[in-house]
């Protein structure tokens, strides 16, 4: 049986050119390498899935590649190949989440004065470095102050605030930001084409939005969808994201505004039968109400995300706008917004959601009568 690598590993960037997003960080690192400004300790921080580990590997390769040109590694020398495969004895990867104790760090430090076996630099990549104990940080600090010339540290963390100032003051720090929707979307298309996946473009757009700037999360979802069906559809993507297609929310709001009981109950049953998370439904309703407000205030409002997944989205918002005034939208928004957190603690989420709907209907009916 072939060993199949998950997409985030299979498509890990091999060179700085392939790295998606955070171009400013890549440019700074390449410039420093080009100008031979090599630091002892690098720190990459930012949310999960934006490429901190990949960047650590790319930097390790560039530092140790024997044919490195303007900061770019050659990808072909033995050092590049070994580091790519994670087989180099001179590039040591440490997961601080499982090796946080002082004894673990002492083990590392005991070996630090041995020269690299075959490469120019002995590089320690410490992932999730914020997990280290105070004693471990103190032990590292001494090394950071006077390291052997051939030793480099690359630290990565999602929790910048937990890194002691004494450590930060000895690192060159790079902040990796969440990727934007387009960066993720373009990468999904590229990889899906290379993998010969069949896909609906709307599905890839939806994955790009819901991965919240994490390319890894986007690729994990793409992997799951490709296993589920050889055609990556919008319907399946909605199912995997445990979300419902926007058309249901649009229709539900329409009948709520019109106080059509039969239809309201019909859609409440759909939400129940599809086992959709009520917190998600409220967030989605809030999102639509917010867009309605925007369109009421600025009828030609132009926002990139409005037409991104569905070209009919703008039309549907405009149609809904005709059924409500600004005061109504404000009222509905307040009801859902103020009760969103209460829903989390309520023993039966379905009942609580329906109670909010009754409140909306009650408001709407009284308004009509008076
Ligand atoms: Zn090389």
Is 337 part of a structural domain of the chain?
yes
Query: What is residue 356's predicted lDDT score, i.e. its pLDDT?
Result: 94
166 and 215, same domain (yes or no)? no
Query: Rounded to the nearest whole angstrom, what is the distance from the C-alpha of residue 86 to the centroid of ligand 1?
Result: 14
Query: Rounded to the nearest whole angstrom, what is the distance from the C-alpha of residue 156 to the centroid of ligand 1?
Result: 23
Q: What is the CATH number of the domain that holds 153?
A: 3.40.50.300
Query: What is residue 269's predicted lDDT score, i.e. its pLDDT?
Result: 93
Is 1 part of a structural domain of the chain?
no
pTM of the predicted model as reported, rounded to 2 decimal places: 0.81
253 and 226, same domain (yes or no)? no
141 and 48, same domain (yes or no)? yes
For residue 162, which of 139, 124, 133 has the smallest C-alpha distance?
Answer: 133
The residue ranges of the chain whose pLDDT is under 70 are 1-2, 100, 303-309, 368-370
Residue 43 backbone dihedrals phi, psi, to 5 degrees? -130, 120
145 and 207, same domain (yes or no)? no
136 and 12, same domain (yes or no)? yes
Is 132 part of a structural domain of the chain?
yes
Query: Rounded to the nearest whole angstrom, what is the distance from the C-alpha of residue 168 to the centroid of ligand 1?
Result: 30
236 and 252, same domain (yes or no)? no
Query: What is residue 27's predicted lDDT score, i.e. its pLDDT?
Result: 96
Is 130 part of a structural domain of the chain?
yes
Query: Rounded to the nearest whole angstrom, what is the distance from the C-alpha of residue 69 to the centroid of ligand 1?
Result: 9
Query: Rounded to the nearest whole angstrom, what is the distance from the C-alpha of residue 251 to the centroid of ligand 1?
Result: 58
122 and 222, same domain (yes or no)? no
Strand 41-45, strand 91-95: pairing: unpaired
55 and 139, same domain (yes or no)? yes
Q: What is the CATH number of the domain that holds 357?
A: 1.20.272.10
93 and 15, same domain (yes or no)? yes
Count how many domains the chain has.
3
140 and 21, same domain (yes or no)? yes
Q: What is the CATH number of the domain that holds 190?
A: 1.10.8.60
Render pLDDT for 72-122 as a digit per residue (tens, 0 to 9). Answer: 999 999 999 999 888 888 999 988 887 767 777 787 778 888 899 989 999
Query: What is residue 309's predicted lDDT score, i.e. its pLDDT?
Result: 67
Query: Rounded to the nearest whole angstrom, what is the distance from the C-alpha of residue 150 to the centroid of ligand 1?
Result: 18
Render pLDDT for 125-146 as a digit per residue (tens, 0 to 9). Answer: 999 999 998 888 888 888 888 8
300 is in which domain, residue-wise? 246-369
78 and 188, same domain (yes or no)? no
Query: Rounded to the nearest whole angstrom, what is the distance from the C-alpha of residue 62 to the centroid of ligand 1?
Result: 7
Query: What is residue 110's predicted lDDT score, i.e. its pLDDT?
Result: 82
């Amino acid at each position: 049986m072939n060993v199949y690598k998950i997409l985030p590993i299979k498509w890990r960037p091999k060179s700085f050119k392939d790295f998606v997003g955070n171009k400013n960080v890549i440019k700074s690192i390449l410039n420093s390498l080009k100008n031979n400004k090599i630091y002892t300790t690098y720190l990459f921080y930012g949310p999960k899935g934006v490429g901190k580990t990949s960047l650590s590997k790319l930097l390790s390769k560039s530092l140790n590649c024997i044919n490195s040109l303007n900061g770019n590694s050659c990808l072909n020398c033995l050092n590049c190949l070994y580091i790519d495969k994670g087989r180099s004895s001179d590039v040591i990867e440490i997961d601080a989440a499982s090796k946080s104790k002082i004894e673990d760090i002492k083990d590392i430090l005991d070996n630090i004065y041995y020269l690299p076996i075959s490469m120019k630099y002995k590089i320690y990549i410490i992932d999730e470095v914020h997990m280290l104990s105070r004693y471990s940080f103190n032990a590292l600090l001494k090394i950071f102050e006077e390291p052997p010339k051939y030793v480099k540290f690359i630290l990565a963390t999602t929790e910048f605030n937990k890194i002691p100032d004494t450590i930060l003051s000895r690192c060159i720090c790079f902040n990796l930001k969440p990727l934007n929707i387009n960066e993720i979307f373009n990468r999904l298309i590229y990889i899906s084409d290379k993998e010969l996946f069949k896909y609906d473009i709307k599905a890839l757009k939806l994955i790009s939005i819901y991965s919240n700037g994490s390319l890894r999360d986007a690729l994990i979802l793409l992997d799951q969808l490709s296993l589920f069906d050889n055609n990556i559809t919008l319907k399946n993507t909605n199912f995997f994201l445990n979300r419902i297609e926007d058309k249901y929310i649009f229709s539900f709001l329409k009948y709520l505004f019109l106080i059509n009981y039969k239809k309201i109950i019909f859609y409440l049953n759909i939400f129940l039968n599809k086992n959709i998370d009520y917190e998600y439904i409220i967030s989605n309703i809030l999102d639509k109400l917010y867009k309605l407000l925007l369109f009421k205030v600025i009828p030609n409002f132009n926002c990139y995300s409005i037409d991104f997944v569905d070209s009919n989205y703008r039309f549907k918002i405009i149609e809904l706008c005709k059924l409500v005034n600004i005061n109504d939208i404000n009222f509905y928004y307040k009801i859902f917004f103020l009760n969103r957190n209460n829903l989390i603690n309520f023993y039966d989420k379905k009942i609580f959601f329906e109670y909010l709907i009754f409140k909306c209907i009650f408001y709407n009916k009284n308004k009509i009568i008076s």
